[in-house]
Amino acid sequence: MSCGGKGGGCSCGSGGDPKPPANAAQPAPGNTGLDGNGPELLSLMQRVPARPRPAYFASDPPPSADPKTARKAPGWMRFFRITRVRVISQAFFFGLFLFFCWVTWFSRLEGYPVSLFLEIDPLVAVATAISTHTVYRNLLWSLVLIIPTLVLGRFFCNWMCPYGTLHQFIGWLFNTRRNIDKVAINRYRPIFGLKYILLVIFFILALFGSLQIGLLDPICIMYRTVATAIAPAYDLSADTLASRMENAGVDAGFLRASLFRPGITDPRIFYGAWFVGLVILGLVGMNLIIPRFFCRVLCPLGAFLGFLSRFALWRIDRDLTRCTDCNLCVSHCEGASDPHAALRKSECFVCFNCIDDCPEDALSFRFLPVRKHAPAAGLLFGRPVISKRAETEIPAPDLSRRRLLFTSVAGVLAYPFLRLSAAVNPGAFHAKAIRPPGSVEETEFLERCIKCDQCLNVCPTNVLQPSTLKQGGLEGLWTPVMDMRIGFCQLNCTLCSEVCPTGAIQKISVEKKLGLKQFAPDGPIRVGTAFFDRGRCLPWAMETPCVVCEEVCPVSPKAIGTYDVQIKRWDGKMVTLNRPYIRPELCIGCGICEHECPVADERAVYVTAVGESRSKDRSLLLRSKET
């Protein structure tokens, strides 16, 4: 279309200088969008969707045509718009995560990569590399996320992360805010920089050999929550409902097939499951106050990806010649990244909601856009500039040098408070801090374990439990320990070593665990040693015959022997008592004797961590200097 001057119906003047059409709405003096309050704000909200476009030139549709109508995409493209594709992606990865949790069971495992989400977690890979000075082979999968993040930005948070999907869904489900309130609640706040502070503290602790990222890493939280709270709660409810349906003559096979842990009679129990459930309820509930609260405020993985995304080649760009500063793009912004002004690149989740919400098509996802425009005489690329905000990008996270310095000092001071706890001290370790078979030495174990509790999830006997503060201190909180009162370590089971993503529990074979074939010179793996409390043992203390512990001892020759004595009991009867004793050189600490002991409250036979084969500091038997 050529310029027709005054008589051509063109919006430019007779001199050919471009200018907005006469009917273009002009912003009121001092009004910059939704920053104000009152009737003017409501009026602006109502006017924005119908606001006319700026002038169009030779390559654009005629002024009388609606640009959106002129560029209207086919129906199938509108159906598969980018935000809908993102929702499909979120649903897929959330379902995939639940599927991996569901198949983490000995009858379903079948080679599925059940720890895949942990293995592709770049925070897990980098933090364990810092703490151990090595990169565990499975964690190389984290490059699958790191490389795209350096290209596209922080896409994982809103396209793949199951924990982020859960938070977004709850926020969407209970969202009753008006548009005005949505804009206010989705602006960036200084508190959102807290996650970078936590990230620095976790990295400094890892540098000293204390790996604590599992406390707040979203993937670790999700696995831990499903393993210790959600799956047991679902199984208990579904099993109870299935029993009632079967009593009523209704087939409940589908319900029993959906159980996370089929085929077990007793419900699985875990220490602190109520607290884990309370934490997830609290964090998810905070979405009612601040949308995506955990993702914006606490998530160390998001902070790490945010740091990487400052180098991303693509980002959301704002066209100053189309943006009217209406701020509608903020109303559904998941990351509070301020797309209406200078985009905070490290906060952007690449959700594309802002592009969908913009009534002026002023936002787009572009390759290396200009960070700050410098309009000349109110024009940019030959078009009149409408927006009053010239800057379009803030790449770096909100963490000043002074704050970084104070955070580093806090991380350095936090380390001795964690490491000097008696529970993790070699000279004062807790007797019940019994680690799973295949675990590395305790110091290295704390450098590797991310508290994901995948080993707890796969354990068929429920013997693995999350460590309490008493057993492991704050540094060892939620790391796996074995409680023989709840379960026992099956002789031929190595499942916990199969699912550990960081090598805290080394992958072992049954032959290595039992000391067979080529591992015979090393002997079996010992996780502890059993002891007898003669004051509670029935044959020793109460003159009552009992041989349960000896009968169930699985090793050969048996690690439990008996002194057979015949006595005349207090009631005058002659009884033969098999008084048990431990052969420490044969005991592997499997705990079945403690689990089966008929003295139910405090067992007469119990296992402690002393004598484990992974550490000389916890040895039990005295050895000569020659050996």
pLDDT at 5 over 70: no
Domain with CATH 3.30.70 in the chain: 428-519, 529-608
pLDDT at 56 over 90: no
Could you tell me what percent of the chain has a pLDDT over 90? 67
Partnered with residue 605 across adjacent β-strands are 532
Output b/e per residue, 375-403; b: 16+ Cβ within 10 A.
eeeeebeebbbbbebeebbbeebbbeeee
Given its phi and psi angles, is residue 215 left (phi above 0), alpha (psi -120 to 50 degrees) or beta?
A: alpha
Do residues 468 and 239 make contact, with C-beta atoms less than 8 angstroms apart?
no
Four-residue CA torsion sign, 19, 22, 24, 25: positive
Residues in the chain: 627
What is d(CA 440, CA 508) in angstroms, rounded to the nearest whole number?
11
Q: Which helix (H) or strand (E) holds 620?
A: none
Tell me the three state secondary structure of residue 566. strand
Average pLDDT over every residue of 345-366: 93
pLDDT-based confidence at residue 423 (cuts at 50, 70, 90): confident
Q: What is the pLDDT at residue 595? A: 96
pLDDT-based confidence at residue 140 (cuts at 50, 70, 90): confident
CA-wise closest residue to 509 among 568, 438, 565? 438
Average pLDDT over every residue of 124-136: 92
Given its phi and psi angles, is residue 490 left (phi above 0), alpha (psi -120 to 50 degrees) or beta?
A: beta
- The pTM score is 0.84
- CA distances for 145 relative to 75, 150, 151, 155, angstroms: 32, 9, 10, 9
Q: What is the pLDDT at residue 621? A: 66
Between residues 176 and 194, the one the model is more confident about = 194
Q: What is the pLDDT at residue 6? A: 42
The pLDDT tens digits for 453-464 are: 999 999 999 999
CATH number for the region 428-519 comes to 3.30.70
Output b/e per residue, 35-69; b: 16+ Cβ within 10 A.
eeeeeebeebbeebeeeebbbbeeebeebeeebee
pLDDT-based confidence at residue 377 (cuts at 50, 70, 90): low
The pLDDT tens digits for 303-335 are: 999 999 999 999 999 999 999 999 999 999 999
User: Concatenated DSSP letters for 207-267?
Assistant: HTT---GGGT-HHHHHHHHIIIIIHHHHHHHHHHHHHHHHHTT---HHHHHT-SSTT-SSP
pLDDT-based confidence at residue 67 (cuts at 50, 70, 90): very low
Tokens of 125: 């890979």
Q: What is the pLDDT at residue 572? A: 85
379-380 and 343-344: which strand pairing? unpaired
What's the CATH architecture for 529-608?
A: 2-Layer Sandwich (3.30)
Q: What is the pLDDT at residue 520? A: 93
